[in-house]
């Protein structure tokens, strides 16, 4: 079936480096994407979202890039800090009204980001 | 305020017990969700409520019974659970149940079934 997945399950960086977390999706009907950060023992925390009519969106220290041609999504974190250490999930929200997938949020497998001081 | 509050944070229950998980939001959101997350796995959708009506049940066993008493509250009633039901149960809400709805999650209830 169609799914959202990640290229790298783990990423280890030094404090101050820039981090790039990748996500591949296979559903060409995908219209909306969200990146979540989940720290140990906590719920997913919304970071940034992007719609399919955009290819880039910036937040505070984070940038999401969307390449619909190759169905690829990435999250860039600038000047990574130890507090950024967490599992990062991309999530896909898609579906036609009345369809069985309408409004559903489907998560990728997640990437563990470890930031070393 | 983008807070979704879940209680309790931790719960240990026997297989014959009946317990309930609670979720509350005061953002005026009209869609609320229950997700289940096993260790080292992504969250998986269980139920969707839209305007206090159950809209999606992802073939969840009947030992899990959701309830939406009003637009701010969502409960998950548990009965006769199995050890494999041990997981982090996450509640989320969004403004509406629709494509492109930004969902906010609570901190979860860590459930252990013994």
Give the CA distances from residue B28 to residues A3, A15, A49, B70, B94, in Å, rounded to whole numbers and listed in that order: 31, 39, 20, 11, 9
| pLDDT at residue B58 tops 70 | yes
Q: Look at residue A8 in the predicted model and tell me its pLDDT.
A: 52
Q: Which of A10, A36, A40, A43 to mutate to test binding with chain B, by most B CBs within 10 Å of its CB?
A: A43
Do β-strands A19-25 and A4-5 pair in parallel, antiparallel, or remain unpaired?
A: antiparallel
Token pair belonging to A76: 């860039």
| pLDDT at residue A45 tops 70 | yes
Inter-chain contact A103–B99, Cβ cutoff 8 Å? yes
- Length of chain A measured in residues: 117
Q: Look at residue A9 in the predicted model and tell me its pLDDT.
A: 85
- Classify residue A23 as exposed, middle or buried by CB count within 10 Å of its CB (0-12, 13-18, 19+): buried
Contact call for residues B107 and B48 (beta carbons, < 8 A)? no
Rounded-to-integer distance, Cα A76 and Cα A3, Å: 22
Rounded-to-integer distance, Cα B29 and Cα B92, Å: 10
- Classify residue A1 as exposed, middle or buried by CB count within 10 Å of its CB (0-12, 13-18, 19+): exposed
pLDDT in tens, A80-106: 999 999 999 999 886 665 566 667 788
Contact call for residues A100 and B48 (beta carbons, < 8 A)? no
Token pair belonging to B48: 């969707």
Of B4, B8, B32, B1, the residue nearest B88 (C-alpha): B8
Inter-chain contact B42–A104, Cβ cutoff 8 Å? no
| pLDDT at residue A1 tops 50 | no
* pLDDT class of B102 with cuts at 50, 70, 90: confident
Residue at token pair 């000047």: A79
Q: In terms of CA atoms, which chain A residue is nearest residue B87?
A: A41
3-state DSSP assignment of residue B94: strand
Mean pLDDT, chain B, whole residue set: 94
Inter-chain contact B45–A104, Cβ cutoff 8 Å? yes
Average pLDDT over residues A19-33: 87
Using the Cβ of A101 and the Cβ atoms of chain B, whether some distance falls under 8 Å is answered with no
Inter-chain contact A42–B108, Cβ cutoff 8 Å? yes
Using the Cβ of A27 and the Cβ atoms of chain B, whether some distance falls under 8 Å is answered with no
* pLDDT class of B2 with cuts at 50, 70, 90: low
Using the Cβ of B30 and the Cβ atoms of chain A, whether some distance falls under 8 Å is answered with no
Inter-chain contact B102–A107, Cβ cutoff 8 Å? no
CA B72 to chain A, closest CA, distance in angstroms equals 19
Token pair belonging to A65: 């890039």
Give the CA distances from residue A109 to residues A71, B12, B20, B43, B90, in Å, rounded to whole numbers and listed in that order: 16, 27, 28, 9, 17
Using the Cβ of A94 and the Cβ atoms of chain B, whether some distance falls under 8 Å is answered with yes
| pLDDT at residue A2 tops 50 | no
- Percent of chain A past pLDDT 90, that is, above it, reads 67
CA A99 to chain B, closest CA, distance in angstroms equals 11
- CB neighbours (10 Å) of residue B23? 26
The size of the A-B interface in CB pairs under 8 A is 69
Q: In terms of CA atoms, which chain A residue is nearest residue B48?
A: A104
Alpha carbons within 13 angstroms on the beta-carbon side of residue B86 total 12
Q: Look at residue A102 in the predicted model and tell me its pLDDT.
A: 67
CA A51 to chain B, closest CA, distance in angstroms equals 8
């Amino acid at each position: 079936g169609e799914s959202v997945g990640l290229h790298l399950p783990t990423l280890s960086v030094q404090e101050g480096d820039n981090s790039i977390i990748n996500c591949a999706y296979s559903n060409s009907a995908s219209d909306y994407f969200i990146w979540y950060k989940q720290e140990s023992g906590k719920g997913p925390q919304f970071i940034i979202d992007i719609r399919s009519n955009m290819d880039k969106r910036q937040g505070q220290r984070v940038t999401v890039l969307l390449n619909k041609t190759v169905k690829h999504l990435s999250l860039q974190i600038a000047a990574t800090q130890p507090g950024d250490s967490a599992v990062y999930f991309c999530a896909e929200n898609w579906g036609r009204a009345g369809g069985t997938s309408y409004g559903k949020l489907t998560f990728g497998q997640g990437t563990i980001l470890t930031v070393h001081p | 305020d983008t807070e979704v509050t879940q209680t309790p944070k931790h719960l240990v229950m026997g297989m014959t017990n009946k317990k309930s998980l609670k979720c509350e939001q005061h953002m005026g959101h009209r869609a609320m969700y229950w997700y289940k997350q096993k260790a080292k796995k992504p969250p998986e959708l269980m139920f969707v409520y839209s305007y206090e009506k159950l809209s999606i049940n992802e073939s969840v066993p009947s030992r899990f019974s959701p309830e939406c008493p009003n637009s701010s509250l969502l409960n998950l009633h548990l009965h006769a659970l199995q050890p494999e039901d041990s997981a982090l149960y996450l509640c989320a809400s969004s403004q509406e149940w629709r494509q492109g709805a930004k969902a906010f999650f609570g901190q979860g209830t860590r459930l252990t079934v013994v």
